[in-house]
Amino acid sequence: MNVFLLIIQDVAVIAVVAAIIWSILRFCRSERWQRALRRFYGDWLGVAMLVVISIYFVVGISDLVRLPVKDPSGRFVSLLDVCFRDVAVEKNFSAPLAHTTYSLNGAEPLKGRHLFGTDQLGKDVLKQTMKGCSTAMLIGTLTSLIYIPIGIILGIVAGYYKGWVDDVIQYVYSVIASIPGILLLIALLMVLGKGVLQISFVLGITGWIGLCRLLRGETLKQSERVYCEAARALGQSNINIIFRHILPNVMHLVLISFILGFSGIVLTESVLSYLGVGMPIGTPSWGVMIDSARMELSRDPMVWWNIGAATGALFFLVISLNLLGDSLRRAFDPKAA
Amino acid sequence: MFSYIIRRILYSVPILFGVIVITFVLFYVVHPPHSVALQMLGPKAKPEAIQNWLHNRGYDKPMFINTQAGRSLFDSQLCHHIKSLALFDLGKSLKTNEPIIDMFKRGAIPSLCITVPAFFLGITMAILAALFLVFVRESLLDVTGTILCVVSMSIPPMVYVIFGQWLFATQWSYFPAFGFIPGGFSMARFLALPICIMAFAGIGSDIRMYRAIFLEEARSDYVRTAYAKGLSARRVLLVHVFKNGMISLITLVVASLPLLIMGSLIIEDFFGIPGLGNLMINATRSADFTVIMAEVYVGSLLFLFGLLLTDICYAIADPRIRLK
């Protein structure tokens, strides 16, 4: 990989993040979102969760943005690698913050101290866990970029045009929904192979159904409302009504599905990697870490820090997303909660 | 009622057709039999050997429509695929050459031995917890309980399994850690731990869902009438709300009953129980594509059957639906 590609990749990462933040801020200007935001700021749990998720995002992006400096193995280093450049690689497992390790040769001093210990290959677990962040964020974002546009377009089109268009779209999602989720994911990944792009594609093309159903139902309701009738009476085109009038009124549902869907994607990715069809072994993914650590609890002495760090990182990300999604839902629709 | 059921069955035929076409596209077009043959016979296999392998399985026929002279138009891979699946002929395993239907019959019993008790244990616990949360609604206990549900939903499913096995089998030695002996008391000893873990792992989202159902019932008018009559809160909840909530709950739950046959991927793999979930995992490890395809097909068949059961339940609960 040369420096030119590297710069393109960095710019792409930053551009995507900026685009997501910009589009959320754009919708925040509307009256309804302003009111919801005021309610959201009063909910300390939701705000705290937003802070936690932002930390995860910063860590994830710091590993995705690479610098034009090569490490000894010839790969470009990321910002995260630079932060961890002084961390030594040990020979084998070592407990958190241990000074010495014991092997057949007796006691040996460790090269450095590790907050979360080291894994079987002697790598620092804290660094591995933080690198897993970038994989989770990358897959979550790529998948959302695939499934959200499909869900929005098909859902609104089905709900707005009704008739045979609705029938065709309903048929397509009934077929996909009738294959049990995890079996379909495994089958698709067996055929397409392992990797970040494959997982994102597979989760994306199977994940739009929930959003599509939700938006179809909401659009059916909205298109009967008086403001749509008024727009039609004024002679506005269907495309115009969909993008100017209906889309802004259902966008909060998209935001909530994005947040809650993100937690589902991260969890599914780890399950798939654990089952051996997701990320390849050796890549920094929490699912792979849990998979390779599944027998380490039964060792003597017990190795708990590897699985503990991966599970903890996964758990705090998923629960923050779930609680944030719930509190956003309460903010947008206080009557339902 | 009879005509309603017939109509519902006919409605699922085109969906089943769509599923068959999707599996065909996946396993014949995206991942053609030729590459399966290369995987099975090794990269150095002779072209004749590959040709022979393909011919023996009928994979050398044209993909969609047979245009060769003197052959039937439908003598193609797609038509054979549709025909064999419609007749419930699932083919043979690529690895062991055993008919897949036999493997399914062998695996269904161990899978059901775990999933059925786990399902009923889980649902009972979830209903009791949900009723309790509705009983103490809008109190601190309710908020804590709901947050605990989110906590339990956010723990990755494999962590329950790994931690449960380590705690109860390795650390405390209450149960055997691994294996399966069919029949009798020994089987119960092996299955107790996986059943409990499976019942417990999915409980968070269930409690939340059932709580929402019961809460909606608790806000309806007949509940206010019952209170106005002077009934106690406990009686209103356990008799009126529970009964009416159960109608929507059962119709919801019945959809997942047929899928219990498919077993559980993570638990069966981790505890070494030879069910259908284990079969799927082994098939992915050995790249046994015919078994994976059969699992996908049978899974969607069972799912559609579950939808049918749901609709029948709705029709029994609300007779107006039958006439629509």
The mean pLDDT of B287-308, rounded to a whole number, is 90
Same domain, B173 and B207: yes
Q: Considering only CA atoms, which of B262, B307, B304, B282 is closest in space to residue B115?
A: B262
A-chain residue closest to B298, CA distance: A179
- Above 60 in pLDDT, residue B254? yes
pLDDT digits (tens, 9 = 90+) for A202-248: 999 999 999 999 999 999 999 888 988 899 899 888 899 998 889 98
Same domain, B118 and B210: yes
Same domain, B295 and B168: yes
**B152 vs A contacts (CB less than 8 Å):** none
pLDDT attached to residue A259: 94
**B292 vs A contacts (CB less than 8 Å):** 186-187, 190
**A323 vs B contacts (CB less than 8 Å):** 147, 150
Which residues constitute the domain of residue B185?
105-317
- Above 90 in pLDDT, residue A31? no
A→B interface, C-beta within 8 Å: 171-172, 174-176, 178-180, 182-184, 186-188, 190-192, 263, 267, 270-271, 274-277, 287, 290-291, 294, 297-298, 307, 311, 314-315, 318-319, 322-323, 326
pLDDT digits (tens, 9 = 90+) for A271-286: 999 998 888 887 889 9
How many Cβ atoms from other residues are within 10 Å of residue B253's Cβ?
20
**Residues facing A100 on adjacent strands:** A109
Same domain, B41 and B178: no
Residue B55 lies inside a defined structural domain of this protein: yes
Interface contacts (A, B; CB < 8 Å): 116
pLDDT attached to residue A256: 93
Tokens 């019932």, residue located:
B217
Q: Considering only CA atoms, which of B282, B288, B272, B315 is closest in space to residue B97?
A: B288
Among the candidates B86, B119, B134, a domain finishes at: B86
Same domain, B41 and B75: yes
Amino acid at A62: S
Please tell me whether residue A67 adopts helix, strand or coil conformation.
strand
Report the residue from A276, A291, A319 with minimal CB separation from B154: A319
Per-window interface: B 132-161 vs A, CB < 8 A:
147, 150-151, 153-159
Please tell me whether residue B180 adopts helix, strand or coil conformation.
coil
Q: Which two tokens stand for residue A48?
A: 């705290």
**Using a CB cutoff of 8 Å and minimum separation of 24, what contacts does B208-212 make?**
B208/B146, B208/B149, B208/B150, B208/B153, B209/B252, B210/B126, B210/B127, B210/B130, B210/B245, B210/B249, B211/B130, B211/B133, B211/B134, B211/B146, B211/B149
The mean pLDDT of B82-93, rounded to a whole number, is 81
CB contact under 8 A, B265 and A182: yes
Tokens 């609680």, residue located:
A323
Residue B323 lies inside a defined structural domain of this protein: no
pLDDT digits (tens, 9 = 90+) for B27-48: 887 777 777 777 777 777 778 8
* A230 alpha carbon, distance to own chain's centre: 40
Q: Which of A44-48, A290-294, B259-263 has the lowest mean pLDDT?
A: A290-294
**Number of domains chain B contains:** 2
Query: In Å, how far is B165's CA from the nearest CA of chain A?
Result: 10
**Residues facing A109 on adjacent strands:** A100
Dihedral-angle region of residue B70 (phi above 0 means left; psi in -120 to 50 means alpha; beta otherwise): left
Residue B26 lies inside a defined structural domain of this protein: yes
Same domain, B82 and B202: no
End-to-end alpha-carbon separation of chain A, Å?
51
- CA–CA distance, A29 with A26 (Å, rounded to integer): 6
Are the C-beta atoms of B319 and B274 separated by less than 8 Å? no
- Write down how long chain B is: 324
Q: Considering only CA atoms, which of A127, A144, A131, A134 is closest in space to residue A263?
A: A144
Residue B35 lies inside a defined structural domain of this protein: yes
Burial class (CB in 10 A: 0-12, 13-18, 19+), B286: middle
Average pLDDT, chain B: 86
Q: Which two tokens stand for residue B219?
A: 């806000």
Q: Considering only CA atoms, which of B163, B167, B145 is closest in space to residue A312?
A: B163
Q: Considering only CA atoms, which of B187, B162, B192, B122 is closest in space to residue B269?
A: B162
Amino acid at B170: T
Q: Considering only CA atoms, which of B253, B251, B243 is closest in space to residue B220?
A: B243
Same domain, B56 and B198: no
Number of H helices, E strands in chain B: 15, 0
Please tell me whether residue A106 adopts helix, strand or coil conformation.
strand
Are the C-beta atoms of A152 and A146 separated by less than 8 Å? no
CB contact under 8 A, B155 and A323: no
Residue B182 lies inside a defined structural domain of this protein: yes
Per-window interface: B 292-311 vs A, CB < 8 A:
292-293, 295-296, 299-300, 302-304, 307
Report the residue from A178, A182, A270 with minimal CB separation from B156: A270
- Determine the residue among A169, A170, A173, A178 to mutate to test chain B binding: the one whose Cβ has the most chain B Cβ atoms within 10 Å: A178
- CA–CA distance, A334 with B211 (Å, rounded to integer): 18
pLDDT attached to residue B205: 92
pLDDT attached to residue B73: 67
**B266 vs A contacts (CB less than 8 Å):** 271, 274-275
* Concatenated DSSP letters of B88-131: T---B-TTT--BHHHHHHHHHHHHHHHHHHHHHHHHHHHHHHHH
Average pLDDT, chain A: 88
pLDDT confidence of B180, banded at 50, 70, 90? confident
Chain A CB within 8 Å of residue B50 CB: no
- CA–CA distance, B210 with B247 (Å, rounded to integer): 12
pLDDT attached to residue A1: 59
Convert A56-70 to b/e letters by CB count within 10 Å (16 or more is b): bbebbbbbbbbeeee
Are the C-beta atoms of A170 and B282 separated by less than 8 Å? no
ipTM: 0.89
pLDDT confidence of B177, banded at 50, 70, 90? confident
Same domain, B249 and B300: yes
- Above 60 in pLDDT, residue A337? no
Residue B322 lies inside a defined structural domain of this protein: no
pLDDT confidence of A200, banded at 50, 70, 90? very high
Domain harbouring B111, CATH code: 1.10.3720.10
Residue B124 lies inside a defined structural domain of this protein: yes
Same domain, B175 and B78: no
Burial class (CB in 10 A: 0-12, 13-18, 19+), B39: middle
* Concatenated DSSP letters of A241-297: IIIIIIHHHHHHHHHHHHHHHHHHHHHHHHHHHHTTSSSPTTS--HHHHHHHTTTGG
Among the candidates B86, B120, B139, a domain finishes at: B86
**A190 vs B contacts (CB less than 8 Å):** 31, 284, 287, 289, 292
Residue A41 C-beta-side C-alpha neighbours within 13 Å: 5
Query: In Å, how far is B201's CA from the nearest CA of chain A?
Result: 14
Same domain, B207 and B175: yes
* B46 alpha carbon, distance to own chain's centre: 41
Same domain, B272 and B188: yes
Neighbouring residues of A287: CB distance < 8 A, sequence distance ≥ 6: A269, A270, A271, A272, A273, A274, A278, A279, B156
CB contact under 8 A, A190 and B147: no
Among the candidates B55, B86, B117, a domain finishes at: B86
Q: Considering only CA atoms, which of A323, A299, A292 is closest in space to residue A128?
A: A292
- Above 80 in pLDDT, residue B8? yes
- Above 90 in pLDDT, residue A322? yes
pLDDT digits (tens, 9 = 90+) for A47-58: 999 999 999 999
pLDDT confidence of B146, banded at 50, 70, 90? very high
pLDDT confidence of A149, banded at 50, 70, 90? very high
Q: Which two tokens stand for residue B161?
A: 């399994």
* Concatenated DSSP letters of A135-174: HHHHHHHHHHHHHHHHHHHHHHHHHHH-HHHHHHHHHHHH
Query: In Å, how far is A227's CA from the nearest CA of chain B?
Result: 30
Q: Which two tokens stand for residue B12?
A: 């699922």
Residue B242 lies inside a defined structural domain of this protein: yes
CB contact under 8 A, B162 and A290: yes
Q: What percent of chain B has pLDDT over 70?
A: 97
Same domain, B77 and B139: no
- CA–CA distance, B126 with A94 (Å, rounded to integer): 41
Neighbouring residues of A332: CB distance < 8 A, sequence distance ≥ 6: A32, A36, A252, A256
